[in-house]
Amino acid sequence: MRHPAFLIAAGLAATAAPAAAETVTDEQVWLNATVIGTVPGSRLAYFLEAQPRFVDGAGRLGQLILRPAIGWKASDRVTAYAGYAHVVLPVERARDRNEDRLFLQLSWTLPKSGAGTLSSRTRLEHRRLSTGSDTGWRVREMIRYVHPLGRPQRTRALVSAEAFVALNDTDWGARAGFDQLRGFAGVEIPLAGRTTIEAGYLNQLINDPGGRRRMNHVASLSLFVRP
């Protein structure tokens, strides 16, 4: 069996592979603030996140995601969530597009592999957009590997890969099959308590209708507050 870090590195390499001539690229900045935890004395879990994403050379807001969820902590390693995401997609000189998503999510952590930690997030999304009447279904699978650099409470190296697959066609543009692939490489920095910051580079390869592809080079900064 190959080491988990090798599998994730392979996913990152796939996102960086040369794309077809019709690929359009952009430089973006994604910010994320997430509060995540469990209700004291219970197995009830929750998270609430806000994600503004700046596009067109990071010159304008291209997407804003507000995503709350509640869940159940089945064990120290497995948590199931149900949630809702509202996505605002600003359009220059036109009416904004909006997306509403319901989702189910399963998050789990594998036993330690060497000094590092491997985890998985599987998400099933039910999607509706303001520009159409169809419902889209999409599956997302993310694998994440964290490796300490020095002592346990110091900065940790972090890599992840996430694949998106659309399950059906819609009248607002989704096409069944490969939707996008994201690869991330960066660091996780511990702050006070269990709060952390994650900073690094994210590569996003999007498969648009008509054979077009987009590749976004993203500077990503995330704050995770764990009460």
Of 134 and 16, the one with more pLDDT:
134
Burial class (CB in 10 A: 0-12, 13-18, 19+), 150: exposed
Query: pLDDT tens across 55-89, in order?
Result: 999 999 999 999 999 999 999 999 999 999 999 99
How far is it, in rounded angstroms, from Cα 54 to Cα 196? 22
Query: What's the confidence (pLDDT) of residue 112?
Result: 73
What is the pLDDT confidence band of residue 209, given thresholds at 50, 70 and 90?
A: confident
CATH of 4-16+23-225, one of 2.40.160, 2.40.128, 2.60.40, 3.30.160: 2.40.160
73-77 CB contacts, 8 Å cutoff, 24+ apart: 73/38, 73/43, 73/44, 73/45, 74/43, 76/109, 77/108, 77/109, 77/110
Largest alpha-carbon pair distance within the chain?
56
Name residues whose C-beta falls within 8 Å of residue 115's C-beta, 6 or more positions apart in sequence. Answer: 147, 148
Helix (H) or strand (E) holding 152: none
The residue ranges of every structural domain in the chain are: 4-16+23-225
What's the pLDDT tens digit per position in 145-204? 999 887 766 899 999 999 999 999 999 999 999 999 999 999 999 998 899 999 999 999
Q: In the structure, what pLDDT confidence band is assigned to residue 143 with cuts at 50, 70 and 90?
A: very high
Tokens of 216: 């976004």
Per DSSP bridges, beta strands 24-38 and 213-225 are: parallel
